Chain A
């Protein structure tokens, strides 16, 4: 869950005029700050000079390119930028001291204090964290993972540089996981589904061996058994690791290498855990095209034909909400009760702090709406960001664009749900 700081819940509305953007031949990648106070966008002039526009003002620096524009939870505006051919990270317009031949996968941890990117120098690959590059480089680095607390950072790395077509060597494995510069001492055919423990001190991933065998590695130590296949692991607490594995009875949930739920499913994946309550939710298929949610071993009674997205726990862990797609139609289901909502597209549900309310943004007829507890708010927008609940759950912060205006609004929820 993202942490939100210093939101003004009293001042109910604010607007930013977007009309002046017409002076730029090109603008793209809109982002709104979590507190709703700022709207930003990448702008380019006729000479391809690129910079960032925030609430009507541009950064002083101009660049060749601006990518990955986003706000951190503490409302800082970050992006990757290319200047004089080299790439670095910009935070509120200030550049890191280090620059690289390329940077990508810009990410931050839960409170936004740790910012990291994958970097390339020559033909070498690595990671840079808060402007400190790792000393160790690799033949390749793919994807970046930051623990919630930001204390540990991982990336998949290639430890051998066998040439294309060298299949006899590929079979020995050349991929590993590097955590804070040091790679695990084992090499695999592939490593995937990296997950940190809640305190960030341990890390697990799915690993693949030759002969189409798979297992789970935790801090580089492999579970005793191998499986026909595995999906992404997840930590149940700071020690125990769960993972869906394929055995002869189907897809099963295992913990630390042993069966956790005895029965098998046609499919199980997208595990989510409420660590404080050690509750587990996941997505299962009970048959082909019959998808549903399972919570602590009990499947929901409703099933959905197309998609069930990763389940979301309420902050107290007592409820579970999920976005689904059934026979081509998007919907929201909370604790096994489908909403009656009739829209073209929905995003992920968001719980109020007390878990009593669920908010979601939805699209219908190319207009965006706020929906709370299955009730659509009457006001439509050309675009909406995800809503944010106030700590007391009485209000919701709405950030959206209508015509040439950006709106920040604080709405009383009782006015929407009546």
Chain B
């Protein structure tokens, strides 16, 4: 196989976190994911691959790197999960760094390759296990980690405080009154038909987008409300680290708000 050669990129979420890790912790995370959490299909998938290469041409990473075989889906599995299994989980920090680079930046889990694999091998699933192992170790790009930490405690991706959320909506309501007479944006209104959840960015940096969305809701005359507590952001960045714990917390919160306000349905923007 062609040599795995990459331009050096530094990211404290990967390089610096590795300084705090030791091989025992790495092995523990690998055991948790590969022995306790993964389905039996893990080994079957890895063992079934006949390296036919049919999947290669379907991967945009492979194509955009001029057919460099180290970007081929089967190669990326071999260099990560395959390597871990071969070493029985006894891998080094350098290995983890390589896995993280592949799993977070060279496969975006789109599963296009699976559609073309004669055995239906789920490459996206296998790479997602690598993301989960890295995530448990805290090894992930800094920007993803930052937003996931925010989700863990604030249920939104941008550390927005509770008063900032409420104040933003009240300010948008004031602005909308220049265009819509007596515009009123309900927050935490019980028994509405619709609970509207929005994208975190819309509340912090892209308020004109949110304003447009709210304009549509108001003019259409539907009975809707925004949440008045944490859980208004429908994004769930933890999916990128396969942090199921945060994923479930955030999703659970959305349903708790929806049932507390007893809305008929949840509608999301974007």
How far does the Cβ of A328 sit from chain B's closest Cβ, in whole Å? 11
- Check A164–B163 contact: CB distance below 8 A: no
Give the contact stretch, choosing among B93-101, B117-125, B140-148: B140-148
Q: How close is A220's CB to chain B, nearest CB, in angstroms?
A: 17
Contact with A along B140-160 (1 / 0, CB 8 A): 001101100100111000010
User: How many residues of chain A are within 8 Å of chain B by beta carbon?
Assistant: 47
Q: Give chain A residues whose Cβ lies under 8 Å from the Cβ of B252.
A: 269
Query: Which chain A residues (159-208) contact chain B, with CB distance < 8 Å?
Result: 164-165, 167-168, 170-171, 175, 189-192, 208
Q: Check A211/B230 contact, CB under 8 A, given A104-B166, A309-B259.
A: no
Q: How far is the CA of A164 from the CA of B152 in the complex (A)?
A: 14
| Interface membership of A109, Cβ < 8 A | no
Residue pair A212, B245 in contact (C-beta under 8 Å): yes
Minimum distance in angstroms from B17 CB to a CB of chain A: 7
Instruction: Check: A406 CB closer than 8 A to any chain B CB.
Output: no
| CB-contact partner of A307 in B187, B230, B259, under 8 A | B259
Q: Does A337 contact B (CB under 8 A)?
A: no
Judged by a CB distance under 8 angstroms, whether B138 is at the interface is: yes
- Tell me whether A28 and B186 are in contact in the complex, defined as CB-CB below 8 angstroms, given that A165-B146, A189-B149, A309-B259 are known contacts: yes
- With a cutoff of 8 Å between Cβ atoms, the chain B residues found around residue A167 in the complex are 12-13, 17, 142, 145-146, 149
Would you call B161 and A208 a contact (CB within 8 A)?
Answer: no
Known contacts A105-B162, A211-B138: does B146 contact A164 (CB below 8 Å)?
yes
B36 at the interface (CB under 8 A from A): yes
The distance from the CB of B34 to the nearest CB of chain A, in whole angstroms, is 14
A142 at the interface (CB under 8 A from B): yes
A25, CB-defined interface residue at 8 Å: yes
In angstroms, Cα B259 to Cα A345, docked, is 11
Which residues of chain A are within 8 angstroms of B146 by Cβ–Cβ distance?
Answer: 164-165, 167, 170
B184 within 8 A of partner (CB): yes
Q: Mark A378-418, 1 if CB is under 8 A from B, else 0.
A: 00000100000000000000000000000000000000000
Assess whether B161 is in contact with A140, with CB atoms less than 8 Å apart: yes
Are A168 and B163 touching (Cβ within 8 A)? no
- Roughly how many angstroms separate A41 CA and B62 CA in the complex, as a whole number? 62
Q: A189 contacts B161, CB within 8 Å?
A: no
How far is B259's CA from A309's CA once the two chains are assembled, in angstroms? 8
Q: Does B195 contact A (CB under 8 A)?
A: no
A35 located at the interface, meaning its Cβ lies under 8 Å from any Cβ of chain B in the complex:
no
Q: Quick one: which of B230, B245, B255 has the most chain A CB within 10 A?
A: B245
A167 and B139 CA atoms in complex are apart in Å by: 11
Nearest-Cβ distance from residue B135 to partner chain A, whole angstroms: 8
| Chain A contacts with B in 293-311, Cβ cutoff 8 A | 307, 309
CB pair A168–B264 under 8 Å, yes or no, is: no
Taking the complex as formed, is A118 at the interface, i.e. its CB lies under 8 A from any CB of chain B? Answer: yes
B136: interface (CB < 8 Å): yes
* Beta-carbon nearest neighbor of A65 in chain B: B170
Q: In the complex, what residues of B have CB within 8 A of residue A118's CB? A: 162-163
**Residues of chain B whose beta carbon lies under 8 Å from any beta carbon of chain A:** 12-13, 16-17, 25, 29, 36, 135-138, 142-143, 145-146, 149, 152-154, 159, 161-163, 166-167, 170, 177, 181-182, 184, 186-187, 189, 191, 228-230, 243, 245, 248-249, 252, 255, 259, 262, 264
Can you list 24 pairs linking A and B with CB atoms under 8 Å apart?
A26-B182, A65-B170, A102-B166, A104-B162, A104-B163, A104-B166, A118-B163, A125-B161, A158-B153, A165-B142, A167-B17, A167-B145, A168-B12, A189-B152, A190-B153, A208-B152, A211-B25, A212-B136, A214-B245, A228-B245, A248-B36, A269-B252, A345-B262, A347-B262
Minimum-distance CB pairs A-B, first 4: A190-B153, A102-B163, A170-B149, A190-B152
Q: A residues bordering B, Cβ < 8 Å?
A: 25-26, 28-29, 44, 48, 65, 67-68, 102, 104-105, 118, 120, 125, 140-143, 156, 158, 164-165, 167-168, 170-171, 175, 189-192, 208, 210-212, 214, 228-229, 248, 269, 307, 309, 344-345, 347, 383
